[in-house]
Structure 1
Amino acid sequence: MKNTLYLLLFFVISPCISTKAQGLLQEKNNFTRQDTLRGSITPEREWWDLTYYHLDIKVNPKQKTISGTNTIQYTVLKPNQVLQIDLQEPLVLTKVTQNNKELEIKHDGNAHFVTLKDQQNVGATNSVIAYYEGKPREAVRAPWDGGISWKKDKNGNHFIASSCQGLGASVWWPNKDHMYDEVDSMDISVTIPKGLMNVSNGRLKSVIDNKDQTITTNWHVSNPINNYGVNINIGDYANFSEVFKGEKGDLDMNYYVLKDNLDKAKKHFKDAPKMMKAFEHWFGPYPFYEDSFKLVEVPYLGMEHQSSVTYGNKYMNGYLGSDLSGTGWGLKFDFIIIHEAGHEWFANNITNVDIADMWIHESFTAYSESLFLDYYYGNQASSEYVIGTRRGIQNDRPLIGQYNVNNEGSGDMYYKGANMLHTLRQLVNDDEKWRQILRTLNSKFYHQTVTTQQIENCLAEESGLDLKGIFNQYLRTIKIPVLEYQVEGKKLHYKWTNTVKDFVMPIKIEVNGINHWITPSKEYQTLKLKSKDSNIKVDNNFYVNVKAL
């Protein structure tokens, strides 16, 4: 969940905005050195592999400050003596040490280059400790314009949360802020005023009374985790839990909500085990049994923080009570619970190497909304929902962004991407095979970072279909294929227009109530009809435009 979804919704509910204005809102072509330092695998990043973090911080709500350390453990992959740590202004990286030796830091905006004194031998496991402090960027419109949300609940208690997808986790803590390298495990220690509780990722190991009007919560994450998936959530929380009997055994499901909302949450969060049952069916086992699953109430809409999914949908079905598909099916579930938890498979289990490939996160997860409906309400409900979401598609920019500059593609990565996947499901033409393909993705790329090409190759291999042109069409252009046809006597003439060079895709049509598969090309093909007055319908499960001549 981030600015792309906001833009999509903004356009859905604001149709009066001109096409030109919409394009200007989403366009960013002037990249800076900071974009490159943030978005590329620099020489100061590539020589070391993350193995462990210990983020140990103190949060001061009154002053809106954070201070503390991050211990960064790594394995040396090749010789180098300069290491890049990312931390965004106005936070200050005050010191970095290794083996009790303070190190020289060259600051370059939000990138900080640390010169190591000890020899970095290939294969060795070393660590540095990064010290920092200051007022982190305050979220303006979380989660789309993120940072730290410093809010209060209706009883005047502090209600604080982090959200940083796209913006980067370095907006609130120092780390190796690039998607390609996930840390293997992590400890998160957060010191806060007494009377509050912090909920972070993984499992709660201890709560320590510091005897100075503060407590420290210690959480441990035992699985690989991407940086933006790390979170803090601080509030006057009540907790309840249940055990889900899943594919890998017992899964602890914990819920942290404001105390005043406990009763309504116990009723409303019944969507959570329903979600888990449906998504384990479609995608395979929940990827983080060791770390449990949590829903955590926050003062913004929600985000897919790994094993600590945040929730702020005001205990309503739909998206804040509205149906994004316009079909009615979107009111059958709480959008935030289903969508954000779906990211546990696509974003947290399978993670893009470069943010330019964020369609991998958002397309599959937007499609998961319809698969949830499919599981409980059937194929027709699923199809109607995903087709209904086409009304939000802008076709303003390709789904894939520009690489190495921290640039994501169009907000269409949500529902244009979902409809591309729905089209692929039609081409596979076997729902059980399609389910196994989705499960294979999650087993083959379990806890991995991936590229678009890897996902394309896997889908093609598992389906047995030539999908190259289809991916080029839907991911890399704004063109929607047009099936152009005309009936001439007892003949149906048809062809594809508005397609890329290598686009090849069969499509299902209905002639007088009977289904036919046809394979159009860029030249007219002909299908013989039984009568001159044939009724032609194109299956609208395929995301194409139709032009009858």
Structure 2
Amino acid sequence: MKLKTTCCVFVCLVLLSFSQLLAQPLSKKTIFTHADTLRGSNGPGRNWWDVTKYDLHVKFNIKDSTISGWNEISFKTLKKGSLMQFDLQEPLLLDSIILSSNENKINESGYQTKTTRKYHRKVIEFKKNGNAYFFYNSNYATTQQLTIYYHGKPTIARRPPWDGGLIWSKDKSKSPWVSIACQGLGASVWYPCKDIQSDEPDSAEMHITIPDTLVCVGNGHLREQVKNDDGTATYDWAVVNPINNYCLIPYIGKYVHFGEIFKGEKGDLTMDYWVLDSNLEKAKKQFKDAPRMMKAFEYWFGPYPFYEDGYKLVDAPHLGMEHQSATAYGNGYINGYHGIDLSGSGWGLKWDFIIVHESGHEWFANNITSKDIADMWVHESFTNYSETLFTEYYYGKEAATAYVTGTRKKIANDIPIIGPYGVNKEGSGDMYYKGGNMLHTIRQVINNDSLFSQILRGLNKTFYHQTVTGKQVENYISAQSKIDFSKVFDQYLRTTQVPVLEYKQNGYTLQYRYTNSLPGFKMPLKINFKGQRWIKPTANWQTLRLYPEGDNQFYVDPNFYINTKKVD
């Protein structure tokens, strides 16, 4: 009895943690402040300049849980402006700001040239407004650098990754194990930056100093490891592709490495695995799902978007996160979600949930990034559906259908999937399973899997390494499919109403209409009535009369996410 109780408690805790994962990264606040607007909007302190590179230097002082360092932000001006905003979250303290720029000269032919000599290098006075800092930049050079020095004891994550911040943990041997999870909360929880999703640096470097008894793993490739003369070592990691602020993350611990080369669509892809030394043998077995994932997702979505930076799985002191080219892994080296099939179909136990889901974000979240977190469905709905596509690739369509329809029991229909814009607020956690089922429904309406695959690959090619609005994605799908899905997106993303097909059946006569739907909603449906056929319901009653012979059992193809109701 005690064993059963323990198992029940474990299952409940896992399911609770997953429900909170759906709510991650932010709270369900409905009243917003000026600070929310500063954090979530592309305001006058942000909209005239574009980050080109972060060059981050940070020392991690593990004994007292503090950090110190600086970030050199290279940027270019998009238009004339003077007010600059960057973000650094309390209780971190800003020490100083230095602004410099490349001098522009006009040569004898009248053409502008650039020199590498810096000028106007000076300390800048600034004003603080909560977690936002402001100053006036009167220098109108096209290319400039902003170096921000800071230190302090950053926010500690109480329950990562759902409640973000710094993670000061220990492994089984009591050695330090440190990392960060900050999606939604923002990268400014540990380094100064322009903390908005719509502006990604085109490249980034991390120079992380730690005790020389530990190893630091970061995004991209390791360029240099230097052992200092004070018992520390500095690891230089660099990415050459655009990267989300919240994806730029170090992992610090007793790491060991193994890897392989994946023969992909763009050639050789390095796949590296950094795990705690105690997990090495388990990882060699469990991480076989990584090349399987890569093969399936390159089939559906196109080439892995970051060949130049490679792919990594890294042992993390939390469940997992889509840190670009360095995916955080914390699923306990077992299949499913901590050993549970979230679909209830059985198929979710055939593969490792974190490897598949978080890696799917390399295409949807890291390659294609929503400008505003309100459109986070672009990340989560497609990545949720990647689980179904992975299942289909290896186990067939029936398995995939069972998986995706099995997840519908987790849909809450509490608030719309799209959140309010400009205040750093996501919508409903339904962006996962309702969003995935919406895409599955759209696929049925397209009724051409080859075209559907082309659309998925086309999204990743058309919006390669870009930030987008949700509307851009919606319009692309409608344009490429030559089907107007605008009302379908409005219905499933912007309302909590699940369409209901009301029907009356009298022998060989079927009447039907949509209710609980938006005006103009007329999504086609595949039904069974005298055999399988398509109907085009609207809000008005329509009648279908067929010969009385044959099977008159009526039902809607379960691949469509709608409800049905028989009426008199």
> For this structure pair, what is the TM-score category when the shorter chain's length is used for normalisation?
over 0.9
2:309 aligned to which of 288, 291, 310: 291
Q: Does 1:119 align with 2:139?
A: yes
- Partner-residue secondary structure (3-state), 1:273: helix
Distance in 2 separating the partners of 1:244 and 1:13: 34
Distance in 1 of aligned mates of 2:377 and 2:18: 19
Residue 9 of structure 1, CA deviation: 4.5
Amino acid corresponding to residue 129 of structure 2 in structure 1 = D
Instruction: Supply the AA of the counterpart residue of 2:556.
Output: V
Q: Which amino acid aligns with 1:66?
A: I
Preserved contact between residue 417 and residue 429 of structure 2 (Cα < 8 Å): yes
SS at match of 1:291: coil
- 2:537 maps to a residue whose letter is P
In the superposition, the TM-score normalised over structure 2's length comes to 0.91
- 1-structure distance, mates of 2:223, 2:13: 39
The amino acid of 1:188's aligned partner reads: M
Secondary structure of 2:484's aligned partner: coil
One-letter identity of the residue aligned with 2:49: W
TM alignment of 1:342-491, pairs within 5 A = 342-491=360-509
Deviation at 1:528, TM superposition (A): 1.1
Alignment of 1:117-266 (within 5 A): 119-121=139-141, 124-266=142-284
Q: Is the 8 A contact 1:197 1:235 kept in 2?
A: yes
SS of 1:313's equivalent in the other structure is coil
- Structure 1 position 432, deviation (Å): 1.1
After superposition, give the CA deviation of every residue in 1:84-104 in whole Å (9 maximum; x if it has no partner).
110000011111001341100
Distance 2:313 2:135 in 1: 37
Report the Cα offset of residue 326 of structure 1.
0.5
Contact preservation (8 Å) 2:418, 2:494: yes
Q: Is the 8 A contact 1:9 1:392 kept in 2?
A: no
Verify the 8 A CA contact 1:11 1:392 in the aligned structure 2.
no
Whether the 8 Å contact between 2:507 and 2:552 is mirrored in structure 1 is no
1:5-16 matches, cutoff 5 A: 9-10=15-16
Residues 191, 214 of structure 1: 8 Å contact kept: yes
3-state SS of the aligned residue for 2:45?
helix
Q: Distance in 1 between matches of 2:560 and 2:165?
A: 39
SS in structure 2 opposite 1:338?
Answer: helix
- SS in structure 2 opposite 1:440? helix
Matched, 1:535 2:553: yes
Tell me the CA shift for residue 366 of structure 1: 0.3
User: Hey, what does 1:519 align to over in structure 2?
Assistant: 536
Q: CA deviation at 1:278?
A: 0.2
Name the counterpart of 1:109: 130
Q: Name the CA distance, whole Å, in 2 between partners of 1:499 and 1:309.
A: 39
Q: Amino acid of the residue matched to residue 119 of structure 1? A: N
Residues 368-420 of structure 1: per-residue CA shift (max 9 Å, x gap)? 00000010001111111011011100000001000000010000000000000
Q: Check the 8 A contact 1:85/1:114 in 2, yes or no.
A: no
AA of the residue aligned to 2:218:
S
Contact 1:79-1:120 within 8 A present in 2 as well: yes
* Native 8 Å contact 2:527 2:535 kept in 1: yes
Contact 2:502–2:514, Cα closer than 8 Å, also in 1: yes
The Cα shift of 1:26 comes to 6.2
Report deviation, 1:531: 2.2
Q: Distance in 1 between matches of 2:199 and 2:307?
A: 22
* CA shift digits 1:219-272 (9 cap, x unpaired): 111000010111011010010010000000000000000001101100110000
Which amino acid is the alignment partner of residue 180 of structure 2? S
2:332 maps to 1:314: yes
- CA–CA distance in 2 between the matches of 1:205 and 1:322? 39
Partner of 2:43: 42
| Cross-structure match for 1:333 | 351
Structure 2 residue aligned with 1:19:
none
Question: Cα gap change, 1:47/1:76 in structure 2, threshold over 3 Å: closer, same or farther?
Answer: same
- The 3 A distance-change label for structure 1 pair 75 and 7 is farther
RMSD of Structure 2 on Structure 1 (CA): 1.7
Quick one: distance in 2 between partners of 1:9 and 1:477? 26
CA apart distance, 1:156 = 1.2
- Give 1:50 deviation, angstroms: 0.7
Q: How many residues align?
A: 531
Q: Secondary structure at 1:52's aligned position in 2?
A: strand
Within 2, Cα distance between the matches of 1:61 and 1:494? 66
CA contact (8 A) 2:14 2:338 kept: no
* Alpha-carbon distance in structure 1 between the residues aligned to 2:63 and 2:202: 34
Contact 2:520 2:538 survives alignment (8 Å): no
State the SS of the aligned residue for 2:305.
Answer: coil
C-alpha distance in 2, partners of 1:189/1:395?
A: 44
Q: Which residue of 1 aligns with 2:29?
A: 28
Aligned-partner Cα distance in 2 for 1:518–1:115: 61
Partner SS, residue 46 of structure 1? coil
Q: Aligned residue for 2:525?
A: 507
Find the aligned partners of 2:81 and 2:378 in 1 and give their Cα distance.
33
From the superposition, tell whether residues 175 and 306 of structure 1 become closer, same or farther in structure 2 (CA, over 3 Å).
Answer: same
- Shift of the alpha carbon at 1:8? 11
Give the deviation of 1:489 after TM superposition.
3.2
Instruction: Provide the C-alpha distance between the structure 2 equivalents of 1:401 and 1:92, rounded to a whole number of angstroms.
Output: 31
1:464–1:39 CA distance, 2 compared to 1 (3 A): same
Structure 2 distance, partners of 1:7, 1:343, is 25
Deviations 1:305-326 (A, max 9, x none): 0001000000010000001101
What corresponds to 2:114 in structure 1? none
1:119-160 alpha-carbon deviations (Å, 9 max, x no partner): 223xx1000100010011000110010101100001111001
Measure, in 1, the Cα distance between the counterparts of 2:136 and 2:69. 21
Q: Give the Cα separation in 2 of the matches to 1:404 and 1:295.
A: 33
The answer for unaligned runs of 5 or more in structure 1 is 1-5, 15-21
Structure 1, residues 295-354: CA drift from partner, whole Å, max 9, x if none?
Answer: 000110000000010000000100000011011011011000000000000000000000
AA aligned to 2:128 is H
Instruction: Provide, for residues 11-41 of structure 1, a one-character-per-residue CA deviation record: whole Å limited to 9, x for no partner.
Output: 9889xxxxxxx9xx96421101110000000
Q: In 1, Cα distance between the equivalents of 2:464 and 2:387? A: 21
Shift of 1:529: 2.8
Distance 1:115 1:198 in 2: 37
Asked if 1:77 corresponds to 2:78, the answer is yes
2:509 & 2:173 partners in 1: Cα distance?
72
Q: What amino acid does structure 2 have at the position aligned with 1:51?
A: T
- Identical aligned residues as a percent: 56
Residue 7 of structure 1: how far off its partner (Å): 12
Q: How far apart in 1 are the matches of 2:73 and 2:392?
A: 43
Q: Structure 1: how far apart are the matches of 2:446 and 2:166?
A: 44
Deviation at 1:502, TM superposition (A): 2.2
- Secondary structure of 1:458's counterpart equals helix
Deviation readout 1:438-477 (Å, 9 max, x if unpaired): 0000000000000011001100011110111101100000
| Conserved? CA contact 1:240–1:256, under 8 Å | yes
Q: CA deviation at 1:114?
A: 2.4
